[in-house]
Structure 1
Amino acid sequence: MQLYNKLSAKEREALIDQAGEDRLTISFYEYHKLNNPEIFRNHLFVAWNELDVLGRIYVANEGINAQLSVPAPKFEAFKEHLDSISFLNGIRLNIAVEQYNKSFLKLKVKVRNKILADGLTDETFDASNKGKHLKAQEFNDIISQEDTILIDMRNHYETEIGHFEGAITPDVDTFRDSLPEIVKDYVEENKEDKNIVMYCTGGIRCEKASAYFKHLGAKKVFQLEGGIIEYVRQVKQDGIENKFIGKNFVFDDRMAERISDDIISNCHQCGEACDTHSNCANVHCNLLFIQCESCKEKMENCCTEDCMTVNRLPTEEQKELRKGKEVSNKIFKKGRSENIKFKKVEVQ
């Protein structure tokens, strides 16, 4: 019984091309107590591997968080399998706004302590006592009210390229970082009388955050049902006014979905209007930053001239340089990044 990947990403990419089938990028999550996450993990891998499902799935005692790429011809079979699992029967699937056949190139099902790293140690609150879910039109209506505080529960690099009009966008790197900051700056002083409305990409961060805010005494807590992905689907389907500007950052090879034509961010190298994220081509650096096409060409998809120099070395020399060193997972942050400063790199 195969329980792990045997193909490389490059080999899988070739098979996708050969198959010539459209694939659907979807996501879902569910908080549900699992007594043996490892057994559940193995069950999912075997079943989904047979259906050529790819993606990144986290399983824990508290439930499942999945982002997947499913062959379109096998989508119904995939749904039937989900429905055969009692707590996933009829679950809402968030289908991506923009489809890309290579959003994922491996099937990774991992057991973790939590399906969402929240940093919370207070286990006395009831995670099922969530905020009220709002559909797209309800969301538009409530965020227009003066007694509403709209909070983006995503990270700074996500909100930098797109967010709802008038939203508070905390300057944080992770969801774990955001909770104490939001509680201190916004929840504590407004928990008695304000509508505290929140949103994220697909809803999972708001599920945990809304329950936590209610546990802390917030009276009127609301969340966007299905996150930005479901909001956009409803907007298109029902002809509702779109209040989201820019792109929606996604955690797969697409990196973002364009929601509106607005470009609200800038290239981190030259300052030109741009909202396209890139990872530095120097594998050891791997910095996530925004780079326009002009800078991408001139800087060879690197964040600095030092990285360009390293990236030009033969592959074996690069491997030698990386030996014994941890590969970076840095994110560009104005004033914080050691690798790149806004407009620092001169592009002739």
Structure 2
Amino acid sequence: MSKKQLCNRYDKETLLKQVLSDPRERRVLSFYRYVLIGNPKEFRDSLYESLFELGTLGRIYLAHEGINAQVSVPVDEYGRLRTLIDSIPELSGIYFNDAVEDKKESFLKLAIKVKNKVVADGLDDSTFNASDVGTHLSPLEFHKTLDEPGVIIVDMRNNYESEVGHFENAILPDAGTFREELPMVEDILKEEKDKKILLYCTGGIRCEKASAYLKHKGFEKVHQLRGGIISYAKEIEERGLQSKFKGKNFVFDDRLGEKITSDILTVCYQCGNPSDRHANCANLGCHVLFVQCPSCQEKMENCCSEECKSIAKLPTEEQKLLRKSGRRHLYPTHHLTRKLVGK
């Protein structure tokens, strides 16, 4: 290869064909670490070239503060991926969080982006010690601690994640972003600074920052689930225990969720029938994420409203012109209502 491969060169349709035509099984995993990366741009280019050679697909964010990665790799290259990551001083020994489910088309390309932060938290890290994190609990320890009297369980994910699955009796802040959630959780818990607090999120990275923030704010007994819901689900199943996480674990790839238990905790935004299927509106100018049952998916042609349905049928060039003009959809999608079953 005369020129280094440092970015994707194909459209989505071509990428999907490439992935589906590859006979190899793939394994989905995630990893993260808060660690000083001196030159994220150089780090990014070197990492991209190495991962590309292994057939790695996925989404990776890099910043001076560290790395946050969700990827898939051919099963027969998993060992080489482990060796590669361990050869990088900043990442050596990093914990691989294998997904509950492996789906070949979870990722279609490799994208590594340099960001200001690996998770948008809105915090000024210079005001507190971000490395002074809470006590890590193994999935089994977390499982047992959930039954202790007086513990407070907090879901550190966004509302669209927690609506389809969460731990029993958890506080579910109604926040659309992690940035919004941190001050909200601090306010909710302001009278509970001496209580044992259990934090959890998808893979652990948001709890890492949240636990340090809460300790800085005077909370004395902050604990977090090591490896997040992903690790909990795998270990609890392996041990033959009954999961205290109910429903589906939302994930940030094309799957949009991993089924942990058969419980359905929310309803279709359009018809109100029980459903835990997330979808993005087919009108790319809207693209809102919402819960839609298979029946409404067929009836609405993957759209959130009749207005978006009509736009999605327009010729591609006409849709692009509408988006450029700022007309994302004919009417705002506030008619979509987030609901939990029984609420």
- State the TM-score, normalized to the length of structure 2: 0.93
**Partner of residue 254, structure 2:** 253
Q: How many residues align?
A: 333
The equivalent position to 1:11 in structure 2, one of 14, 30, 33, is: 14
- Work out whether 1:174 is the aligned partner of 2:177: yes
Q: How far apart, in 1, do the equivalents of 2:325 and 2:74 lie? A: 39
Is the 2:269–2:291 contact (alpha carbons within 8 Å) kept by the matching residues of 1? yes
Cα RMSD between the aligned structures?
Answer: 1.6
How big is each residue's C-alpha offset from its partner over 1:214-260, in whole Å with a ceiling of 9 and x where there is no partner?
A: 11111111000100000011112222331000000000000000000
**Partner of residue 346, structure 1:** none
Is the 2:266–2:276 contact (alpha carbons within 8 Å) kept by the matching residues of 1? yes
**Partner of residue 239, structure 1:** 240
Q: Offset at 1:339?
A: 4.4
Is the 1:270–1:342 contact (alpha carbons within 8 Å) kept by the matching residues of 2? no
Pick closer, same or farther for the CA change 1:202–1:82 going to 2, 3 Å: same
Matches within 5 A, 1:54-203: 54-186=57-189, 188-191=190-193, 193-203=194-204
Pick closer, same or farther for the CA change 1:326–1:124 going to 2, 3 Å: farther
Is the 1:31–1:63 contact (alpha carbons within 8 Å) kept by the matching residues of 2? yes
* Greater CA drift, 210-219 or 85-94: 85-94
Code of the residue aligned with 1:142 in structure 2: it is T
Q: Offset at 1:90?
A: 2.1
Code of the residue aligned with 2:298 in structure 1: it is E
Q: How far apart, in 1, do the equivalents of 2:307 and 2:179 lie? A: 32
**Partner of residue 311, structure 2:** 310
**Partner of residue 300, structure 1:** 301
How big is each residue's C-alpha offset from its partner over 1:111-138, in whole Å with a ceiling of 9 and x where there is no partner?
A: 1111111111252311111111111221
Code of the residue aligned with 2:67 in structure 1: it is I
- Work out whether 1:264 is the aligned partner of 2:265: yes
Q: Offset at 1:301?
A: 1.1
The equivalent position to 2:25 in structure 1, one of 4, 22, 44, is: 22
Q: How far apart, in 2, do the equivalents of 1:78 and 1:92 lie? A: 12
Q: How far apart, in 1, do the equivalents of 2:6 and 2:135 lie? A: 39
Code of the residue aligned with 1:340 in structure 2: it is H
Q: Which runs of 5+ in 2 are unaligned?
A: 339-343
How big is each residue's C-alpha offset from its partner over 1:153-172, in whole Å with a ceiling of 9 and x where there is no partner?
A: 00000010000000000000
SS at match of 2:191: helix
Q: How far apart, in 1, do the equivalents of 2:333 and 2:14 lie? A: 35
Code of the residue aligned with 1:5 in structure 2: it is N
How big is each residue's C-alpha offset from its partner over 1:77-128, in whole Å with a ceiling of 9 and x where there is no partner?
A: 1111001012322221111111110111111111111111111125231111
Aligned-residue identity in percent = 50
**Partner of residue 338, structure 1:** 333
